[in-house]
Amino acid sequence: MESRPIVIDGSDGLIESTELYFTAKKQEDIVLGSQVSLVIDDAQAEVIPSPLNTYTIYNIENDLSGMINYYFRME
C-alpha cells in the first residue's frame, strides 16, 4: 500500500490531501467501483472481496508495464 500527495484547486482555495493505492498484477475481477479488503501479511499482500473493512476502487492506472495501480478509498 502506498500514498501520494495531491493538490486540488477548488473554489475555496487549494485543498491538499493524499491518495491511497496498491500495485498488483492485473486482476480481471477488480474494476471501477469494486469493493475490496486489503489483507497484508509478512510475505505478501492479497486483495480479497470482503464485507469487512471495505474499500472502493475509484481509479485504475495501467501503464502497460504489467503492474497496475489500484486507487481506493474507505467506504
Could you give the CA distance from residue 34 to residue 2 in angstroms, rounded to a whole number? 19
Enumerate the domain spans of the chain: 2-74
Q: Are 7 and 30 in contact (CB under 8 A)?
A: no
Q: Give, as one character, the DSSP assignment of residue 1.
A: -
pLDDT digits (tens, 9 = 90+) for 26-75: 888 889 998 887 765 555 556 655 566 788 999 999 989 989 999 998 86
- Assign 9 a pLDDT band (cuts: 50, 70, 90): very high
